[in-house]
Amino acid sequence: MTISDSPFLTDKAALLSRLRSVLPAHCLLADAEDLRPYECDGLTAYRELPLLVCLPENEGQVLDVLRICHSLKVPVVARGAGTGLSGGAMPHAQGVVLSLARFNKILRVDRDARLAVVQPGVRNLAVSEAAAPYGLYYAADASSQIACTLGGNVAENSGGVHCLKYGLTVHNILRLRMVSIEGEIFEIGSEAPDAPGFDILALMIGSEGMLGVVTEVTVKLVPRPELAQVVMASFDQVAQAGDAVAAIIAAGIIPAGLEMMDKPATAAVEPYVHAGYDLAAEAILLCESDGTPEEVAEEISRVTEVLTASGARDIRVSQSEAERLRFWAGRKAAFPAVGRITPDYYCMDGTIPRKRLAEMLAAIAGMEQKYGLRCANVFHAGDGNLHPLIMYDASKPGEWARAEAFGAEILELSVKLGGSITGEHCVGIEKINQMCVQYSTPELNMFHAVKAAFDESGLLNPGKAVPSLHRCAEYGRMHVHHGAVKFPELERF
Amino acid sequence: MDLDDLLLVVREACQSGRQLRLRGAGSKDFYGGMLAGDVLDVRAYQGIVAYEPTELYVTARCGTSLVDIESVLAEQGQMLAFEPPRFSGATLGGCVAAGLSGPRRQQAGAVRDFVLGVKLIDGTGQRLDFGGQVMKNVAGYDVSRLLAGSMGTLGLLAEVTLKVLPKAVAEETITFEMNESEAIACLNRWGGQPLPVSASFWTDGRLFLRLSGARAAVEAARRKLGGDAAVDGKNLWDSVRDQTHPAFAGPVLWRLALPSTAAPLGLEGLTAIEWGGGQRWLRSDLQAADVRAVAAKAGGHAVLYRAPESLRCLEGAFAPLSPALLALHRRLKKTFDPKGILNPGRLYAEF
C-alpha cells in the first residue's frame, strides 16, 4: 500500500541545502543505499523510500529540521527503532524520516520518586535494566521490548502481555516534552499526579506521530514483584476456555497475564519449543500470578479452583522459574513457529469483548472453510486482544486475495462484536481503510480537526492513522512473507 | 429525556449562540472557574446502559448518580477503583468532566485511566462516539481520555464507559504518629517496595495507610510495617473520599498536585497529604500567586479548590498555562465547540 494522491512535491536540492546548514554531515542521509534501511518498519509489506533521513543529536537540531520542513512544506515521519507492525513509520516518498535513534540517553532514574526521564530513542528494556538496581521496573513492557523504543511506545500506545493488570503505555507515562511541526516546545504532563488543563498527555499517547515529535519521556517505575508463577490449563472445547477466562475475572482475580492458544497454534509451537503443551486439547490457557509469595500462593490456589470448575482437563502450576519460562516459551514463539509451517501468514490485531471469544473462534473456523485457508489463534485473552495468524502461500494464485478477504472479515467481525480493529499495533498505513468500518464520518472529521489543531499544515506522518473520507473503500493487513518478519529474533505476542 | 432531546438543545443553542452550563447534580458547582450560561440539567438522562462484570466495564448515561452505579457494582463485588468523590448526588457525567479522583488514585490510577469510551455531544450538537467497551483500543486518537477533566468545555459527555475492577479480598487500615516530613519520606520509601498500599492520608501529626489485596499479602504487609490498627478505617476513607473530613473544610482550600517526593513546602495551613505525597491540601489566605509559585517551584501546580466564586474568577481556579499550551487549548476548544457555548470560562477565563 502506498500513500496516493499526495499533495506534496518536494524540491530535494533546496531541502538538502537548508538541512546541511543545521545538521552535521553524519546526521543526514541522502544516498539511496543509505536510505534503504528506512524504507519500511516491522511491517515489511509496505515500503517507500524517503527523500532524506535526518538523525539529529539534540533537541535544537530537531527544532531546526522541523522548522525547515514546515517552511518548505515537506512531510516528516518520526521513527524510533522501526519495529512497529502497522507501517506507522513507513516513509513518505516526498518527505524526511526523522530518526530519533541518537536520542538514546537515560537522563535520570529517580528511585525515591519512582520515575525515569529518558530520551525517546531509549529501548523499552533498557529502562527496566537501569531501574533494576532499585528493585523497580517499567511495567508497560511491550513484547518487542529488547528493541522497541519509548518514543515508539508513546506513538503507538503499546500493550503487551501484562496490560490487563499493569495498563498500557498511556497508564505508565507521566510527562512528555514535545516539539510541534512549527518548532514550538510543549511540556505535557509533569512529575506531579496531574497537570492543569486538558489531558493532552492522553491525546499524545497513541497518536502515531501525527501530532508532534517527542524529545523526552518521563515514565513511571513500579516495584518489581517478588515472585511470578504461571498456571497452564488445557480444555477439550474452546468455548470452555473462553468461559474460564470470564470465570477468573468474575472471581475477582486480575492476573498479571492471561493468554490463550488454540489447537493449531499449540500444534505449530510444540515441535519448535517443547513447552510441554497438551496437544490433544482444543485450547490452552496460561494464567500468570505475580506479587509477594503469600499473594501468589493465594491467587494460584483460587485460579486453580476456578479452572477446575470450568472443566479444565489438565492443570499444571510452574514449580520453578525455569518451568514458568518454558510454559511461556511456546506462547512467545507462536509467530515464528507458525512461520515454519506455512510459507506466509498475516497477523491480525482485533479486540473483542472476552465473552465473544468462543463465538469469534467458531466464526474463524467457518472462515477457514469459506476461504480454504488455515488459521492459528493466539490471544491476549485477558483483554480480548486477538492475534489470528492466517496461513497462506503467496506463490499460489488467488491465495493472497483469499487471505486478505479472510482477514477483512475477522476485523469487521471484531467491530461488529463490540470491539476494535486494533488493540496494540495501531492503525498506521496497514489498517487505514478499516478505520472507516470502526468510525463514521463525524468521528473521522473530528480526528482530522484534532490533527489540525496540532499540525495545521498536515506535515506530520501524512496519510497515516486517519483515512481521508474518500479513501474509505478497501482493507489492508499485515503481510508476512515466508515467515520473514523483520526482526525475527524479537518476541511477538 | 432521551439523547435526541439533549442533541436538540445543544444544536439550537449553537445556532442561536446561547451559552449553556452543563450540570448534573451540581455537587461540584464550587469547583473551577466562572459559572456562566443557562443551566442544562442532565439528571433526567440517567440509567445504566450496560454492565458486564466479566468484561470489567460499565456504561451509563451522564445523569446516573455514582451511588447508584456503585451499588450495582457492589452486588458483583466490583468498584470504581479511582474512588471519585460522591459529594451529594454526584453524577457520572460530572465525575468524568471534573476529573477528580479519590484515595485509591495512588495505587489504581485516576479517572482518565479508567475511561474506555464516551458518547459525546459536541458544541454543534453533533453526536460522536469515541473509544468503546474493550480494554485495548488504539484506533484513532484517544479523545475519550482527553475529555476527562475538561470541565464540560469540549462537549456534553452523554454516556461514558468506565473500566471497573474487583474489590480487594481484604482491606485494613493502620496508623502511625509522625510529622509531615517523616510521613513524606516513609510514603516514598514504601512506595518503592512491593507493598499493597492502596491509600494514604496524613493529617494533624498522624499517618493512615490502607492496605488492600489478598488476605495473606495484607497480613504480611501489616507485620512488616508495624503501626497501630485504626478503628473504623472504612469511615475514615469515606470521609477522605467524599471530603467530609475536617481537613477539607474552610473558606479557602488549595489542592496542590506535586511530585510525591517534594519536601515540605513550608507554607502555613497544610491540612492533609494524600496519594503517597502527590496531593496536598492547604487552608490558606496566602496570595494565589505565592501559592502557585511555591507549587511550581516544587514541580507541581496549585488549584484554588474551594473558594468564593469571586476569588476563583479573579485568580483563576487552575494554574495558568504557558502561552504555547494556552494557544493549543484554544484551538482544541474551537475544534469541539466552535461557537464557545459550552461551559465558557469554567476551566480558563480565556475560553
The x, y and z cell numbers of residue B236, run together, are 475514615
Task: Sketch the domain layout of chain A as residue ranges.
Answer: 1-224, 227-332, 336-434+475-481
The answer for residues whose C-beta is within 8 angstroms of residue A249's C-beta and 6 or more apart is A354, A382, B53, B54, B55, B56, B166
Distance of CA A74 to the CA centre of its chain: 27
Q: How far is CA B25 from CA B3, B6, B65, B70, in A?
A: 18, 16, 8, 16
Which of B145, B257, B319 has the CB atom closest to A202's CB atom?
B145
Percent share of chain B, pLDDT over 90: 98
Calculate the CA dihedral of residues A158, A162, A163, A165 and round it to 10 degrees: -160
Q: How many pairs of residues across A and B have Cβ atoms under 8 Å apart?
A: 264
Whose CA is closest to A290, among A277, A303, A281? A303
* Residue partners of A215: CB distance under 8 A and separation at least 6: A59, A62, A100, A103, A119, A120, A177, A178, A179
| B321 Cα distance to chain centroid | 20
| Interchain contact, B299 vs A191, CB within 8 Å | yes
Do the Cβ atoms of B141 and A383 come within 8 Å? no
Percent of chain B with pLDDT over 70: 100
Of A112, A184, A297, the CB nearest to B188: A112
Q: Is A198 close to B149, i.e. CB distance below 8 A?
A: yes
pLDDT band at B292 (very low <50, low <70, confident <90, very high): very high
Q: Which of A179, A216, A169, A127 is nearest to A426 (CA)?
A: A169
> Measured between CA atoms, how close is B108 to chain A, in angstroms?
9
Q: Which residue has the cell 457525567?
A: B93
Residue B259, chain A, CB below 8 Å: the answer is yes
Residue type, A196: P
User: How many whole angstroms from its chain centre is CA B171?
Assistant: 23
Give the residue carrying C-alpha cell 489566605: B285
Closest CA in chain B for residue A456? B331
Nearest residue, CB atoms, B54 vs list A114, A224, A250: A250
Q: Tell me the chain A residues in contact with residue B113 when contact means C-beta distances shorter than 8 Å.
A: 167, 170-171
Q: Which residues of A touch B212 (CB under 8 A)?
A: none
How do A185-189 and B57-61 pair as beta strands? unpaired
Option in A134, A190, A198 nearest B150 (CB): A198
The Cα of A413 is separated from the nearest Cα of chain B by a number of Å equal to 14
Spatial separation of the C-alpha atoms in residues A433 and A466, rounded to whole Å: 8
Residues 4-43 of B with CB under 8 A from A: none
Give contacts of B 149-168 with A, CB under 8 A. 149-150, 154, 165-167
CB contact under 8 A, B145 and A136: no
Residues of B in contact with A387 (CB under 8 A): none
Amino acid symbol at B184: I
Per the CB < 8 A criterion, the answer to whether B242 and B159 are in contact is no
Please name the amino acid found at residue A288.
Answer: E
* Closest of A394, A377, A395 to residue A386, by C-alpha: A377
CATH class as words, domain A227-332: alpha beta
| Chain A residues closer than 8 Å to B132 by CB | 418-420
What are the angstrom distances between the C-alpha of A83 and each of A153, A464, B19, B258?
10, 16, 48, 35
**Of A210, A247, A298, which has the smallest distance from its Cβ to B214's Cβ?**
A298
Q: Please name the residue that has the C-alpha cell 498506521.
A: A428
Q: Are A62 and A98 in contact (CB under 8 A)?
A: yes
Q: Spell out a b/e string for A223-240, using b for 16 or more CB atoms within 10 Å of the CB, else e.
A: bbbebbbbbbbbbeebbb
- Please give, rounded to a whole number of angstroms, the shortest distance from the CA of A25 to a CA of chain B: 32
Say whether A443 and B105 touch across the interface (CB within 8 A): no
Residue A426's pLDDT is 92
Q: How far off is chain A from B214, nearest CA to CA, in Å?
A: 6
Identity of residue B78: Q
Give A227→chain B minimum CA distance, Å.
10
- Tell me the residue type at A252: G
Which chain B residue shows the shortest CA-CA distance from A425? Answer: B138
Encode pLDDT of B69-95 as tens digits: 999 999 999 999 999 999 999 999 999
A100: how many CB neighbours lie within 10 A of its CB?
A: 25
Write the pLDDT tens digit of every residue in A144-159.
888 999 999 999 999 8
Strand partners, A230: A288
Among A385, A437, A489, CA closest to A161: A385
This prediction's pTM = 0.95
Tell me which chain B residues have a C-beta less than 8 angstroms from the C-beta of A203: 141-143, 145-146
Q: Closest partner residue to B191 among A114, A185, A419, by Cβ? A: A114
What does the DSSP 8-state code read for residue A25? G
Q: For residue A479, give the nearest of A429, A439, A435, A438 by alpha carbon.
A: A429
Instruction: Name which of B128, B136, B301 is nearest A192 (Cβ-Cβ).
Output: B301
Q: Using the beta-carbon criterion (under 8 Å), do A351 and B128 form an inter-chain contact?
A: no
Contact state of B216 with A294 under an 8 Å Cβ cutoff: yes
To the nearest whole angstrom, how far is the Cα of B57 from the nearest Cα of chain A? 10
Q: Do A454 and A407 contact (CB within 8 A), yes or no?
A: no
- Calculate how close chain B gets to A183, using CA atoms only, in Å: 11
Distance CA A287, CA B145 (A): 29
C-alpha distance from residue B47 to each of B50, B54, B142 (Å): 9, 20, 25
- A158, A171, A185, A198, best to mutate vs chain B, most B CBs in 10 Å: A198
- Interface probe, candidates B141, B265, B350, chain A, greatest A C-beta count within 10 A: B141
Write the DSSP string, A112-166. TTTEEEE-TTSBHHHHHHHHGGGTEE-S---TTTTT-BHHHHHHHT---TTHHHH
- State the average pLDDT over residues B202-228: 95
CA distance to A334, A419, A426, B37, per residue, from A363 (Å): 21, 15, 24, 52
pLDDT at A116: 98
Interface contact B148-A352, CB threshold 8 A:
no
Label residue A218 exposed, middle or buried (CB < 10 Å: 0-12, 13-18, 19+). Answer: buried
Closest-CA residue to A159 (of A205, A120, A221): A205
The per-residue pLDDT string of chain A (493 residues; one tens digit each, 9 = 90 and over) reads 445 556 899 999 999 999 999 999 999 999 999 999 999 998 877 899 999 999 999 999 999 999 999 999 999 999 999 999 899 999 999 999 999 999 999 999 999 999 999 999 999 999 999 999 999 999 998 888 889 999 999 999 998 888 999 999 999 999 999 999 999 999 999 999 999 999 999 999 999 999 999 999 999 999 999 999 999 999 999 889 989 999 999 999 999 999 999 999 999 999 988 999 999 999 999 999 999 898 899 999 999 999 999 999 999 999 999 999 999 888 888 888 998 999 988 888 999 998 888 889 899 999 999 999 999 999 999 889 999 999 999 899 999 889 888 988 898 899 999 999 999 999 998 888 889 889 988 999 999 999 999 999 999 999 999 998 877 754 433 334 444 445 555 565 5
Q: Do A351 and B134 make contact, defined as CB atoms within 8 angstroms?
A: yes
Chain A closest-CA separation from residue B111 CA (Å): 11
CB contact under 8 Å between A439 and B126, yes or no, is no
**CATH ID of A336-434+475-481, from 2.40.128.20, 3.30.70.2740, 3.30.565.10, 3.20.190.10:** 3.30.70.2740
Q: Is the pLDDT of residue B336 over 90?
A: yes
Q: Are A78 and A56 within 8 A, CB to CB?
A: no
Q: How far apart are alpha carbons B183 and B208 in whole angstroms?
A: 10
- What CATH code would you report for A1-224? 3.30.465.10
Cα A290 to chain centroid, rounded: 23
CA distance A353 to B55: 6
Q: Cα separation of A369 and A341, whole Å?
A: 19
Instruction: Give the tens place of pLDDT for each residue, A244-288.
Output: 999 999 999 999 999 999 999 999 999 988 999 999 999 999 999
Distance from C-alpha of A129 to C-alpha of A152, rounded to nearest angstrom: 18
Contact B329, B348 (CB under 8 A): yes
Are the folds of A227-332 and A336-434+475-481 the same? yes
- Quick one: pLDDT at residue B273? 98
H or E element at residue A238: helix A238-250
Least CB–CB distance from B194: residue in A193, A225, A421? A225
> Cα separation of A267 and B59, whole Å?
40
Interface pTM, i.e. ipTM: 0.97
Q: Which residues are within 8 A (CB) of A238 and not within 5 positions of it... i.e. 6 or more apart?
A: A262, A282, A283, A357, A358, A361, A362
The whole-angstrom distance between B41's CA and the closest CA on chain A is: 23
Beta-strand relationship, B38-41 and B20-23: parallel
Q: Judge contact between A333 and A143, C-beta under 8 A.
A: no
Other beta carbons within 10 Å of A146: 16
Mean pLDDT, rounded, for B172-179: 98
Of B122, B139, B193, the CB nearest to A223: B193
Using DSSP's 3-state secondary structure scheme, residue A75 falls into coil
Which of A110, A223, A440 is nearest residue B194 as measured by Cβ atoms? A223
Domains of chain B, CATH where assigned: 3-166+328-336 (3.30.465.10), 170-310 (no CATH)
Q: Give φ, ψ of A46 to 5 degrees.
A: -110, 115
CA distance B64 to chain A (A): 23
Residues 169-188 of chain B with CB under 8 A from chain A are 169, 188
Which set of grid coordinates corresponds to residue A325? 519460562
